């Protein structure tokens, strides 16, 4: 499958009236003295899927993790520049990181369900954020989250069984259900399919497309075919710099930058 034909698979086109949900201005990230990200300016459009591509170590995951301040947990990590969620500067001291992460959810590379029941996994977020007023509310949130993650039919009879007992693909969908249960506005996905087989990957990709109805999604992926299939916007990173960004079909069919072209045709990376 050539890249051009992969790009044409991206059936849903970018929404014409897409608003910027998150904007990064001159974002730089340092790990100690080492700078990992340089002056990134990127707009994340609402209800679109933005994919971040690039070779290993290019800073795409670093940028993703700075969008919900997961970088805070790394010792010696420092972010410069400005990242806005709607109107709020998320690095402003007045912003509580707990609230930010409730608004900007995250799905990780390796499925990481809690070693608790499937129900508990999904219910944990709503519980700690006080989203559910009572048990019935909570049940409803768990059910709808699992349904939207496409997992409901597979687990409805074993909600009390441990989430770690599911298959890899099911675990990842459980993690997605857990992330959307807190009703975030933005969903960050860090190579969500890299640990999954092709069939599970296809299920997740389909799911991402459905989730776009309600969530703004940013996805880091190593697979250019995947970027082409699921995203409307693509940003290409190389050596800590944002090289090119634009509509996915433009990036894959008509890249303006030489480095982008080299990457998508497999010459670097």
Partner 1 sequence: MTDAALPHATVATAASARRDFGLRRRHAAEFRFRLYGIVAIIIGLGFLAILLVSIFSKGYTAFVQTAITVPVEFSASIIDKDNERATNPRVLVSANYPIIARNAVAKALGVSTDDKAAMRDIAKFVSDGSRSTLREIVVADPSVIGTTRNVTLLAAADIDSANKGQIDLTVPQDKRKVSDQQVAWLDQLKQEGAISTPFNWGLLTFGASSRPETAGLGVALVGSLYMMAIVLLCALPIGVAASIYLEEFAKKNRFTDFIEVNINNLAAVPSIVFGLLGLAVFINFFGMPRSAPIVGGLVLTLMTLPTIIIATRAALRSVPPSIRSAALGIGASKMQMVFDHVLPLATPGILTGTIIGLARALGETAPLLLIGMVAFVADRPTTPLDPATALPVQIYMWANEAERAFVERTSGAIIVLLLFLALMNLAAILLRRRFERRW
Q: Which residues of the chain form contacts with partner 1 (CB under 8 A)?
A: 68, 70, 73, 75, 98-102, 105-108, 110, 112-115, 124-125, 128-129, 164, 175, 178-179, 181-182
- CB-wise, 189 or 230, nearer to partner 1? 189
- Taking the C-alpha atoms of residue 123 and residue 28, their distance in angstroms, rounded to an integer, is 35
- Radius of gyration over every alpha carbon of the chain, rounded to an integer in angstroms: 18
- Please answer whether residues 141 and 132 qualify as being in contact, where contact means their C-beta atoms are separated by less than 8 angstroms: yes
- CB-wise, 56 or 73, nearer to partner 1? 73
For the bound state, the minimum distance from the C-beta of residue 65 to partner 1, rounded and expressed in Å, comes to: 10
- CB-wise, 27 or 175, nearer to partner 1? 175
Distances (CA, A) of 16 to 11, 13, 211, 247: 15, 9, 18, 11
- CB-wise, 176 or 242, nearer to partner 1? 176
For the bound state, the minimum distance from the C-beta of residue 115 to partner 1, rounded and expressed in Å, comes to: 5
Q: Quick one: tokens of 84? A: 């806005």
- CB-wise, 102 or 204, nearer to partner 1? 102
Place of tokens 């209800």: 47
For the bound state, the minimum distance from the C-beta of residue 155 to partner 1, rounded and expressed in Å, comes to: 18
Residue 125: closest CA among 144, 147, 101? 101
- Please answer whether residues 26 and 195 qualify as being in contact, where contact means their C-beta atoms are separated by less than 8 angstroms: no
For the bound state, the minimum distance from the C-beta of residue 138 to partner 1, rounded and expressed in Å, comes to: 15
- Please answer whether residues 251 and 244 qualify as being in contact, where contact means their C-beta atoms are separated by less than 8 angstroms: yes
Q: Which DSSP string corresponds to 158-172?
A: -TTSBGGGS-HHHHH
- CB-wise, 67 or 228, nearer to partner 1? 67
Q: Are strands 241-247 and 216-220 parallel, antiparallel or unpaired?
A: unpaired
- Taking the C-alpha atoms of residue 109 and residue 70, their distance in angstroms, rounded to an integer, is 14
For the bound state, the minimum distance from the C-beta of residue 164 to partner 1, rounded and expressed in Å, comes to: 5
For the bound state, the minimum distance from the C-beta of residue 73 to partner 1, rounded and expressed in Å, comes to: 6
């Amino acid at each position: 499958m050539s890249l051009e034909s992969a790009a044409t698979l991206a059936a849903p086109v970018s929404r014409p009236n897409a608003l910027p949900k998150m904007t990064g201005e001159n974002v730089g990230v340092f790990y100690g003295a080492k700078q990992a990200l340089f002056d990134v300016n990127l707009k994340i459009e609402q209800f679109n899927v933005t994919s971040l591509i690039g070779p290993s170590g290019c800073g795409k995951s670093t940028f993703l993790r700075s969008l919900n301040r997961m970088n805070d947990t790394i010792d010696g990590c420092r972010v410069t520049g400005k990242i806005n969620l709607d109107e709020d500067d998320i690095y402003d001291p007045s912003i509580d990181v707990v609230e930010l992460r409730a608004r900007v959810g995250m799905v990780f590379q390796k499925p990481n369900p809690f070693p608790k029941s499937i129900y508990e996994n999904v219910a944990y977020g709503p519980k700690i954020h006080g989203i559910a007023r009572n048990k019935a509310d909570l049940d409803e949130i768990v059910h709808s989250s699992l349904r939207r993650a496409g997992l409901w039919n597979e687990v409805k009879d074993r909600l009390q069984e441990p989430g770690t007992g599911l298959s890899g693909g099911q675990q990842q969908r459980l993690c997605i259900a857990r992330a959307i249960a807190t009703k975030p506005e933005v969903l960050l996905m860090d190579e969500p399919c890299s640990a999954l087989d092709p069939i599970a990957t296809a299920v997740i990709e389909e799911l991402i497309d459905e989730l776009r109805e309600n969530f703004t999604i940013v996805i880091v992926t190593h697979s250019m075919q995947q970027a082409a299939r699921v995203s409307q916007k693509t940003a290409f990173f190389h050596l800590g710099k944002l090289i090119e960004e634009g509509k996915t079909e433009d990036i894959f069919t008509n890249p303006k930058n030489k480095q982008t072209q080299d990457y998508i045709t497999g010459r670097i990376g």
